Amino acid sequence: MSNNGYEEIADLTAMELGRLYRLGELSPLDATRAALARIEACNSEVNAYCHVAEESALESAKASEQRWLKGEALGPIDGVPSSIKDLTKVAGMPIRSGSLTSADELATEDAPFSARMREAGAVILGKTTTPEFGWKGVTDSRATGVTRNPWDTGKTAGGSSGGAAAAAALNMGVLHQGSDAGGSIRIPGGFCGVFGIKPTFGFIPQWPASAMTTLSHLGPMTRTVEDSLLMMDAVAQPDHRDWYSDRKFDGYWIDILDRPLEGLKVAYSPTLGYVDVDPGVRACVDRAVAALIELGAEVEEVDPGFSDPLEMFSTLWFAGAGKVVSGMSEAQRDLLDPGFRAIGEQGMKIDIVDYMKAVDARAALGIKMGEFHQQYDLLVTPTLPITAFEAGRDTTDDSQKYWMEWTPFSYPFNLTQQPASTSPCGLVDGLPVGLQIVGAKGADALVLNACRRLERALPMQWLGRPKAGSRG
């Protein structure tokens, strides 16, 4: 097949690929070759993949091709090129977690997410980049280097699922797994202009458990809402290895789409009552909210009524980092990202009483949001108050100490374990802006349907190649 043919295939969605597979008009092998060609062409510029498993991917694609030819496809994502973040085990692939301290060995078994994707027939192309142990809202590490934004390679892709977001923006593969303990799906999704959702905690099992414990959710990152729903149908299944995975959706996620928004009560909080938002970002989000109103939603501008929970989040976050660092030798600690080592060593000193106070404050915030959703079906905010900044930095400027200071819209909803998504809603100076939609716990269907309706009202342009930017 010609390069032009591969380029056209590489831009197809999972829904489109499945339809063409069913009709016999396209082979999973051609789709996989197209995805690998896109990775070959783009990865050196954005550093989205830290491991590409070309041989095993092609073998999986050949097996999928035979299943489709025999009418024995395993499901709608059988043969769809996909990726897994390098915090999640994939049997036969490295599990480095973005760290020089990790043993250079191959995983011997699949994590639940990887297992469910394989069982659905997905072709796993490789592993996407993460900062060390997913500790921050940008993606760079001593082990794998800097991951860059496809819209401007001088800018950050965000993190910690920055590799997945950059891959999704360029369709270097179609379906991508992210994880989110403080915004790590929504931050890079917002910066890179792709859809992503942190589902209600417990829908998607996670094993081994995250260092950030019950803050961490796994979820899909894709160009379209439909494709994320196809992933949800595959992976949102309980697994005995994660005793928190106690939720099961009744039916198929893909069937929830395109329901009318008339009568839906939506709270729009442009600042949460305390965030400074870039005027260009605010304008894009305002336009998206106007589109929701045109679609029939009943929108009221109102804040949810809590103050910035940064202190309680930081206590829990630092404690999680402390758990990781506490098991390392001094020689291993010397290999760590200095920022991660610093918060880990700080976390090791957290008093148990202070930790339990943070746990109690978290519970109170969850109750408050539960009460808020008795009145409002959804809460809408910007995903981020800014657009992407210089790659290779942890913060926007030297006045900030921690990454959480520039992403105040995301971590509150890890504390509450609610479903929270990001959808692209415009560009400011050529860089994407994201809209966050938050639902009550278990109301993922409402969130996803609203995202799909908004996606149709505000279609996103896509990239086939990264846009070069100045590098500091």
Place of tokens 């030798």: 329
- Residue 399 is a catalytic residue: no
Q: What is the number of other CB atoms lying within 10 angstroms of the CB of residue 461? A: 8
Alpha-carbon gap, residue 41 to 460, rounded angstroms: 22
The pair of three-digit structure tokens given for residue 258, joined into one six-digit string: 């395109």
| Stated length of the chain | 472
CB 105 within 8 A of CB 96: no
CB 126 within 8 A of CB 49: yes
Q: Which of 27, 99, 141, 160 is catalytic?
A: 160
45 conformational bin, left if phi > 0, alpha if psi -120 to 50, beta if neither: alpha
The pair of three-digit structure tokens given for residue 425, joined into one six-digit string: 């809603």
Q: Please give the torsion angle defined by the CA atoms of residues 62, 27, 177 and 373, in that order, rounded to the nearest 10 degrees.
A: -140
Catalogue the long-range contacts made by 290-294 (C-beta closer than 8 Å, 24 or more residues apart).
Answer: 291/454, 291/457, 291/458, 292/261, 292/266, 292/380, 292/450, 292/453, 292/454, 294/457
Gyration radius from the chain CA atoms: 21
- Residue 160 is a catalytic residue: yes
- Residue 179 is a catalytic residue: no
Complete DSSP assignment for 309-321 = -HHHHHHHHHHHH
Alpha-carbon gap, residue 332 to 260, rounded angstroms: 54
User: One-letter amino acid identity for 359?
Assistant: V
Q: Which of 114, 184, 314, 421 is catalytic?
A: 184
Q: Which of 60, 82, 83, 85 is catalytic?
A: 85
Please identify every residue annotated as catalytic.
85, 160, 184
